[in-house]
Structure 1
Amino acid sequence: MNRTVFALPARSDYATRAGLAITRVAEQFTGGANRLDDLINLLDRRRGVVLSSGTTVPGRYESFDLGFSDPPLKLETSGVNFKLEALNARGQVLIAFLGDVLREPCVVFSEKTATRLAGHIIRGDAPVEEDQRTRRASVMSLVRDIIAAFSANDDGLLGLFGAFAYDLVFQIEDLVQKRARESDQRDIVLYVPDRLLAYDRATGRGVVLSYDFAWKGKSTEGLPRETAESPYLKTPRQGFADHAPGEYQATVETARAAFARGDLFEAVPGQLFAEPCDRSPAEVFQRLCVINPSPYGALMNLGEGEFLVSASPEMFVRSDGRRVETCPISGTIARGTDAIGDAEQIRQLLNSEKDEFELNMCTDVDRNDKARVCVPGTIKVLARRQIETYSKLFHTVDHVEGMLRPGFDALDAFLTHAWAVTVTGAPKLWAMQFVEDHERSPRRWYAGAIGAVNFDGSINTGLTIRTIRMKDGLAEVRVGATCLFDSDPAAEDRECQVKAAALFQALRGDPPKPLSTFAPDATGSGKRVLLIDHDDSFVHMLADYFRQVGADVTVVRHVHALDMLKRKTWDLLVLSPGPGRPEDFGIKKTIDAALEQKLPVFGVCLGVQAIGEYFGGELGQLTHPAHGRPSRVQVRGGRLMRNLPNEIVIGRYHSLFVERDSMPEVLSVTASTEDGVAMALEHKTLPVAGVQFHPESLMSLSNEVGLRIVENAFRLDAGAN
Structure 2
Amino acid sequence: MDSTEHHDTIDLIGPSGHNLRVAAWTDVARDDQFDRIVTDLDDVLGLALASNYEYPSRYSIWNFGFTNPVLMFQSTDRSFIVKALSERGRGVLAFMHDVLSALPELSVEALDGMGFSGVVDPLPADADFAEEDRTRKLSIFTVVRAMWQALQHPALGDFGLYGAFGYDLVLDFEDIAKRMTREDDQRDVVLFIPDRLFKSTVGSEVGFVTNYEFTYGDHASADHPRVAVPAAFKRNDNGWSDIRCDHAPGEYEAVVDRARGEFLAGNLFEAVPGQSFTTALRSTPATVFRRLMQTNPSPFAFLMNLDQDEFLIGASPEMYLRSTGRKIETCPISGTITRGADPMEDAEQVLKLLSSAKEEAELTMCTDVDRNDKARICVPGSIEVKGRRQIEFYSRVIHTVDHVVGELADGYDGLDAFISHMWAVTVTGAPKAWAIKFLEANEKSPRRWYAGALGGLTSDGAVNTALSIRMVQVRNGMASVRAGATTLYYSDPASEERETRLKASAFLSALMEEDGSGNGKDFAATPKAGRASEGYVSRGLNILMVDHEDSFVNMLSNYIKAFEPSLKTYRAHTALSKLTKDIDLVVLSPGPGRPADFNTNATIEKAVSLGIPVFGVCLGLQAVVEYFGGTLGILDEPRHGVPTTVTHENTGVFAGLPQDISVARYHSLYALDGAIPDCLTVTARSVDGVVMGISHRDLPIQTVQFHPESIITSKNDMGMRLIRNMLEQVPAR
TM-score, normalised via structure 1 length: 0.69
CA distance in 1: counterparts of 2:346 and 2:412, whole angstroms: 43
Equivalent residue of 2:132, what SS? helix
Match in the other structure for 1:431 = 435
Amino acid in the other structure paired with 2:79: N
Equivalent residue of 1:477, what SS? strand
Structure 1 residue 146 and structure 2 residue 147: aligned? yes
Give the 3 Å change call, closer, same or farther, for CA 208–178 of structure 1 in structure 2: same
Amino acid in the other structure paired with 2:432: K
The match for 1:249 among 238, 250, 253 is 253
Give the 3 Å change call, closer, same or farther, for CA 340–210 of structure 1 in structure 2: same
The CA deviation at 1:284 is 0.3
1:17 and 1:152 in contact (8 A); partners too: no
Please show how residues 202-351 of structure 1 align to structure 2 within 5 Å: 202-236=203-237, 237-238=239-240, 239-351=243-355
CA distance in 2: counterparts of 1:356 and 1:290, whole angstroms: 31
Please show how residues 271-670 of structure 1 align to structure 2 within 5 Å: 271-513=275-517
Match in the other structure for 1:27 = 27
CA distance in 2: counterparts of 1:396 and 1:45, whole angstroms: 38
CA distance in 2: counterparts of 1:403 and 1:496, whole angstroms: 35
CA distance in 1: counterparts of 2:464 and 2:434, whole angstroms: 28
1:232 and 1:471 in contact (8 A); partners too: no
Please show how residues 48-67 of structure 1 align to structure 2 within 5 Å: 48-67=46-65
CA distance in 1: counterparts of 2:205 and 2:168, whole angstroms: 39
Please show how residues 166-205 of structure 1 align to structure 2 within 5 Å: 166-205=167-206
Amino acid in the other structure paired with 1:12: D
Match in the other structure for 1:567 = none
The CA deviation at 1:472 is 2.2
CA distance in 2: counterparts of 1:50 and 1:190, whole angstroms: 14
2:278 and 2:478 in contact (8 A); partners too: yes
CA distance in 1: counterparts of 2:161 and 2:472, whole angstroms: 21
The CA deviation at 1:8 is 9.0
The CA deviation at 1:223 is 1.1
1:385 and 1:398 in contact (8 A); partners too: yes
Equivalent residue of 1:12, what SS? coil
Match in the other structure for 1:12 = 8
CA distance in 2: counterparts of 1:131 and 1:11, whole angstroms: 40
Equivalent residue of 2:257, what SS? helix
Match in the other structure for 2:727 = none
Give the 3 Å change call, closer, same or farther, for CA 262–209 of structure 1 in structure 2: same
CA distance in 2: counterparts of 1:432 and 1:112, whole angstroms: 38
Amino acid in the other structure paired with 1:191: F
Give the 3 Å change call, closer, same or farther, for CA 7–261 of structure 1 in structure 2: farther
CA distance in 1: counterparts of 2:249 and 2:436, whole angstroms: 24
Amino acid in the other structure paired with 1:23: A
Equivalent residue of 2:186, what SS? coil
The CA deviation at 1:350 is 0.6
Match in the other structure for 1:115 = 114
CA distance in 1: counterparts of 2:50 and 2:372, whole angstroms: 30
The CA deviation at 1:299 is 0.3
2:4 and 2:25 in contact (8 A); partners too: no
CA distance in 2: counterparts of 1:515 and 1:447, whole angstroms: 25
The CA deviation at 1:382 is 0.5
Amino acid in the other structure paired with 2:404: V
Bigger CA radius of gyration = 1
Equivalent residue of 1:20, what SS? strand
CA distance in 1: counterparts of 2:76 and 2:447, whole angstroms: 14
The CA deviation at 1:28 is 2.1
CA distance in 1: counterparts of 2:318 and 2:288, whole angstroms: 20
2:483 and 2:504 in contact (8 A); partners too: yes
Give the 3 Å change call, closer, same or farther, for CA 510–286 of structure 1 in structure 2: closer
The CA deviation at 1:512 is 1.4
The CA deviation at 1:94 is 1.0
CA distance in 1: counterparts of 2:55 and 2:122, whole angstroms: 41
CA distance in 1: counterparts of 2:116 and 2:325, whole angstroms: 28
Gaps of at least 5 residues in structure 2 are 521-733
Name the Cα RMSD after superposition. Answer: 1.7
1:93 and 1:220 in contact (8 A); partners too: yes
Deviations 1:343-383 (A, max 9, x none): 11111111111110000000000001100000000000000
Gaps of at least 5 residues in structure 1 are 1-5, 517-721
Amino acid in the other structure paired with 2:236: T
Structure 1 residue 44 and structure 2 residue 42: aligned? yes
CA distance in 2: counterparts of 1:370 and 1:476, whole angstroms: 32
- Number of matched pairs: 509
The CA deviation at 1:494 is 0.5
CA distance in 2: counterparts of 1:405 and 1:235, whole angstroms: 50
Equivalent residue of 1:221, what SS? helix
Give the 3 Å change call, closer, same or farther, for CA 7–257 of structure 1 in structure 2: farther
CA distance in 2: counterparts of 1:107 and 1:298, whole angstroms: 32
The CA deviation at 1:384 is 0.3
The CA deviation at 1:455 is 1.8
Amino acid in the other structure paired with 2:95: F
1:273 and 1:478 in contact (8 A); partners too: yes
2:395 and 2:518 in contact (8 A); partners too: no
Match in the other structure for 2:621 = none
CA distance in 2: counterparts of 1:301 and 1:515, whole angstroms: 28
The CA deviation at 1:163 is 0.3
Give the 3 Å change call, closer, same or farther, for CA 82–515 of structure 1 in structure 2: closer
2:75 and 2:188 in contact (8 A); partners too: yes
Structure 1 residue 84 and structure 2 residue 82: aligned? yes
1:17 and 1:148 in contact (8 A); partners too: no
CA distance in 1: counterparts of 2:356 and 2:391, whole angstroms: 13
CA distance in 2: counterparts of 1:309 and 1:75, whole angstroms: 20
1:87 and 1:227 in contact (8 A); partners too: no
CA distance in 2: counterparts of 1:383 and 1:202, whole angstroms: 28
1:96 and 1:114 in contact (8 A); partners too: no
The CA deviation at 1:7 is 11
CA distance in 2: counterparts of 1:201 and 1:33, whole angstroms: 11
Equivalent residue of 2:168, what SS? helix
The CA deviation at 1:93 is 1.2
Equivalent residue of 2:282, what SS? coil
CA distance in 2: counterparts of 1:174 and 1:252, whole angstroms: 25
The CA deviation at 1:285 is 0.2
Please show how residues 118-133 of structure 1 align to structure 2 within 5 Å: 118-124=117-123, 127-133=128-134
Deviations 1:79-134 (A, max 9, x none): 11100011100111111111222222222113421311101111325642000000
CA distance in 2: counterparts of 1:473 and 1:97, whole angstroms: 36
Deviations 1:179-219 (A, max 9, x none): 11000101001000000010110323210000000112321
Amino acid in the other structure paired with 1:14: I
1:163 and 1:450 in contact (8 A); partners too: yes
CA distance in 1: counterparts of 2:27 and 2:441, whole angstroms: 52
1:51 and 1:299 in contact (8 A); partners too: yes
